[in-house]
Amino acid sequence: MMDMESGVNAIRYVGIAEAADKIPEADRILVIGCSGGGKSTLSQKIARRYGLAYISIDRDVLWLPGWVQRDKPEQHRLIAELVAGERWIMDGTNTSTFDIRVPRSDLVIWVRMPRWLCIWGILSRWIMNRGRTRPEMAPGCPEKMEWQFFRFVWTWEKVYGPRVLAGLASHAAGKPVLMLKSRSEMRELLDLIGPDA
């Protein structure tokens, strides 16, 4: 088994300018990160700009109406079907499916915002969408806020950050990985690729 340090070094990180050059040529882009960090908004903007199908793991795979999760085999089957598509941008982290999603991607964008910013993101979208279903969420799953979700976001980096690093080290195989750590970096990327189509 690969030790974490050598695995992390095996990930091929790219800068914002290089990623912006790659995005127009990319057929399949995976966008990962903690809830509230802005990955759905970023994904939808890139999808519109380059005519990519927008796939939300929350909407298209994970959730059924009433906040009921699909069972794992069905989730895996749906993801396998979706990644077989020719041109898409997929928003969702779920490291248990990195083995089929990361190798099929031309570029991985890790939206790795500070946790206070992710907390602000989930609180502000809850206020804006309370009682309604966001476009990137499954029908019948109105916006809600629960303590468990707040805690999930607050501890995400500590719990899931190492899993993401291990998953990328195992499955990225030299693919370019862009890490965005601030809103200004995200704006810089969007400025470089130009306005939505």
Confidence of residue 8 (pLDDT cuts 50, 70, 90): low
> Topology of domain 4-192, per CATH?
Rossmann fold (3.40.50)
Q: What is the mean pLDDT of the chain?
A: 92
Residue-wise pLDDT for 68-120, tens only, equals 999 999 999 999 999 999 999 999 999 999 999 999 999 999 999 999 999 99
Of 33, 60, 40, 37, nearest in space to 122 by CA: 37
Rounded mean pLDDT of 151-161? 96
Of 30, 39, 62, nearest in space to 138 by CA: 62
Is residue 1 scored above 60 in pLDDT?
no
Q: Quick one: pLDDT at residue 197?
A: 45
Q: Which residue type is seen at 138? A: A
Q: Quick one: pLDDT at residue 72?
A: 93
More confident residue, 5 or 95: 95
Backbone angles phi, psi at 139, to 5 degrees: -55, 145
What's the predicted TM-score (pTM) here? 0.92
Tokens 């476009």 locate to: 135
Lowest mean pLDDT among 33-37, 118-122, 193-197: 193-197
Residue-wise pLDDT for 80-90, tens only, equals 999 999 999 99
Confidence of residue 2 (pLDDT cuts 50, 70, 90): very low
Confidence of residue 173 (pLDDT cuts 50, 70, 90): confident
Q: Quick one: pLDDT at residue 145?
A: 86
Rounded mean pLDDT of 143-150? 91
> Interior CA angle at 58 toward 52 and 96, to 5°?
95
